[in-house]
């Protein structure tokens, strides 16, 4: 069926010129016109099979998606069947968002329409700027972002509007506004005046414009664009799962994104790229790399930016990023940082390749972000800014074929215990 993903938004959007033909957008599972949810139509058998215990759910398939495919053994990541390396080399973040949300690449008019719609949603309400002003300048950026994403819902008249179409409009707003939140929180804590978004820029250029108060070079904007493409979606990772759990209760997209940002914040998930930069700072120079890494390996400590729960081969997101990091490090006079990273990689691979330990996406994104002038404690926010599109796409997929996500816990406590009155305990 011809789908209407974003169609309603684009059709009514002042930023979309009427002569641009409306895209025939399709969202993966909009092949069906089924309502968002209908508990009475559940396909669950009357007598469910005995549950299995799968701590961490690593061996459980809990949802379907048409957005990203991962083969961890072979080191493959595809968005809608297109390998991530090709997307990083040739696509843009906006085009990738379209691909994920519509399960096909856009034509030129469709891409223009989506970009225009996003651009016209960059701005945030004045009340949100006031709120940022009220934040302590010492606030951890991910705390600030989680709070601000939640607050956006207070200012969206559609925040609690039911249905998939309203969620798609909210998805567009969330992806468009998140960079404005992050950049202007950083300006606030740095004692700088806010910089309003520039609706003539793409998302990457606009973010760096607001962050630094000047238009970035094309190479800098492209560096960020590549990172945004690489982080946009990654199967049912922890924050995506958390978002789907929230939306599956038929809560709203702002609540789901707030859940996701909070989940991404954990050091076992989104925080590793910050740790890579901290490690590079701690090592400090090329001569100290060998001793530092060997010492860590001997102590059986983790080297940040290596290993992955799913990938047991080279993380496909790291392949092009490594080439890119070298280029941007050269251009910005940070080659030392890249060379140190490369040396760390050589040592870790020599010691750990047999265990499937290779650089992951975080390893070279740390160098890339640093070269773009992004502060280390903003790195996880950069991840959130990109993954917002994947989270929203997953939530739409969930709504299209919804069932409350409700696993069971294995009870390990006592049975038949007596209730003892307070006075007798
Ligand atoms: C991502 C991570 C949690 C995956 O963990 P995992 O799937 O449980 O990995 P495993 O425990 O199966 O690892 C196998 C072996 O490699 C070692 N190993 C895993 N990651 C390592 C790393 N980053 N540095 C050094 N050794 C590592 C393990 O200690 C284990 O060694 P052992 O067999 O001697 O006990 C883990 O690799 C890690 O913490 N990496 C660092 C943090 C990071 O970069 N996270 C971002 C992921 S995108």
- DSSP-assigned states of every residue in 357-422: --B-HHHHHHHHHHHTT--GGGHHHHHHHHHHHHHHHHHHHHHHT-----------S-SSPPP--G
Q: How confident is the model at residue 301 (pLDDT cuts 50, 70, 90)?
A: very high
When pLDDT is averaged across residues 253-278 and rounded to a whole number, the result is: 93
Pick the range with the lowest mean pLDDT from 46-55, 122-131, 311-320.
Answer: 46-55
Q: 203 in ligand 1 pocket by Cβ < 6 Å?
A: no
Summarised one tens digit per residue, pLDDT across range 225-257 is: 999 999 999 999 999 999 999 999 999 999 999
Q: 352 in ligand 1 pocket by Cβ < 6 Å?
A: yes
Q: Quick one: pLDDT at residue 27?
A: 41
Q: 307 in ligand 1 pocket by Cβ < 6 Å?
A: yes
Summarised one tens digit per residue, pLDDT across range 96-108 is: 999 999 999 999 9
Summarised one tens digit per residue, pLDDT across range 144-171 is: 999 999 999 999 999 999 889 999 999 9
The question of whether 308 is a catalytic residue gets the answer: yes
Q: How close is the Cα of 320 to the center of ligand 1, in Å?
A: 22
Measure CA 347 to chain center: 30
Domain span(s) for CATH 1.10.230.10 in the chain: 272-371
Q: Quick one: pLDDT at residue 269?
A: 86
Q: 230 in ligand 1 pocket by Cβ < 6 Å?
A: no
Q: Are the C-beta atoms of 360 and 366 separated by less than 8 Å? A: no
Exposed, middle or buried: residue 381 (CB in 10 Å: 0-12, 13-18, 19+)?
A: buried
Instruction: Return the best residue to mutate from 272, 307, 365 for the ligand 1 pocket (most ligand atoms within 8 A of CB).
Output: 307
The question of whether 331 is a catalytic residue gets the answer: no
Q: 117-270+388-400 adopts what CATH topology?
A: Citrate Synthase; domain 1 (1.10.580)
Question: Rounded CA gap, 316 and 163, in Å?
Answer: 36
Choosing among 3.90.580.10, 3.40.640.10, 3.65.10.10, 1.10.230.10, the CATH entry for 272-371 is: 1.10.230.10
Question: Rounded CA gap, 309 and 356, in Å?
Answer: 10
Q: How close is the Cα of 242 to the center of ligand 1, in Å?
A: 23
Q: Quick one: pLDDT at residue 162?
A: 86
Among protein residues, the one whose CA lies closest to atom 5 of ligand 1:
309
Tokens linked to 42: 């559940």
Q: Quick one: pLDDT at residue 355?
A: 94
Q: What is the CA radius of gyration of the chain?
A: 23
Question: Rounded CA gap, 319 and 79, in Å?
Answer: 16
* pTM of the model as a whole: 0.87
Q: 156 in ligand 1 pocket by Cβ < 6 Å?
A: no
Q: Residues 156, 231, 362, 394: which is the catalytic one?
A: 362
Give the three-class secondary structure for 68: strand
When pLDDT is averaged across residues 263-287 and rounded to a whole number, the result is: 92
Q: How confident is the model at residue 411 (pLDDT cuts 50, 70, 90)?
A: very high
Q: How confident is the model at residue 49 (pLDDT cuts 50, 70, 90)?
A: confident
Domain span(s) for CATH 1.10.580.10 in the chain: 117-270+388-400
Quote the percentage of the chain above a pLDDT of 70: 89
Q: Which residue has the tokens 């080439």?
A: 323
Q: Quick one: pLDDT at residue 403?
A: 96
Q: How close is the Cα of 302 to the center of ligand 1, in Å?
A: 7
């Amino acid at each position: 069926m011809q789908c209407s993903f974003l169609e309603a938004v684009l059709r009514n959007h002042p930023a979309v010129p009427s002569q641009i033909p409306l895209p025939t957008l399709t969202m993966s599972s909009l092949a069906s016109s089924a309502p968002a949810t209908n508990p009475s139509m559940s396909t669950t058998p009357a007598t469910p099979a005995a549950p299995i215990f799968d701590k961490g759910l690593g061996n459980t398939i809990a949802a379907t998606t048409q957005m990203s495919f991962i083969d961890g053994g072979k080191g493959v990541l595809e968005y809608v069947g297109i390998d991530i390396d090709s997307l990083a080399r040739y696509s843009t973040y906006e085009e990738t968002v379209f691909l994920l949300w519509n399960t096909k690449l856009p034509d030129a008019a469709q891409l223009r329409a989506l970009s225009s719609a996003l651009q016209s949603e960059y701005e945030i309400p004045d009340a949100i700027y006031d709120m940022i002003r009220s934040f302590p300048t010492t606030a951890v950026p991910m705390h600030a972002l989680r709070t601000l994403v939640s607050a956006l819902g207070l200012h969206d008249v559609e925040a609690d509007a039911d249905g998939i179409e309203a969620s798609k409009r909210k998805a567009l707003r969330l992806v468009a506004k998140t960079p404005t939140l992050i950049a202007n929180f950083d300006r606030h804590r740095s004692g700088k005046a806010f910089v309003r978004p520039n609706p003539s820029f793409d998302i990457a250029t606009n973010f760096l414009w607001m962050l630094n108060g000047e238009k970035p070079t094309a190479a800098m904007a492209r560096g960020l664009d590549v990172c945004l493409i690489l982080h946009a979606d990654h199967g049912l990772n922890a924050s995506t799962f958390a978002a789907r759990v929230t939306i599956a209760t038929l809560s709203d997209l702002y609540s789901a994104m707030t859940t996701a940002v909070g989940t991404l914040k954990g050091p076992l998930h989104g925080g590793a790229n910050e740790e890579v930069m901290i490690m590079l700072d701690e090592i400090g120079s090329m001569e100290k790399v060998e001793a530092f890494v060997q010492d860590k390996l001997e102590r059986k400590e983790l080297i940040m930016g290596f290993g992955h729960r799913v990938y047991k081969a080279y993380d496909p997101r790291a392949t092009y990023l490594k080439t890119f990091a070298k280029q941007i490090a050269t251009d910005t006079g940070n080659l030392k940082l890249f060379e140190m990273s490369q040396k760390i990689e050589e040592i870790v691979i020599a010691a750990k390749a047999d265990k499937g330990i290779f650089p992951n996406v975080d390893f070279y994104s740390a160098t890339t972000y640093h070269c773009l002038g992004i502060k280390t404690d903003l790195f996880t926010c950069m991840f959130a800014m990109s993954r917002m599109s994947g989270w929203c796409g997953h939530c739409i997929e969930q709504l299209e074929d919804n069932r409350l996500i409700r696993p069971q816990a294995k009870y390990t406590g006592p049975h038949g215990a007596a209730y003892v009155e307070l006075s007798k305990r």
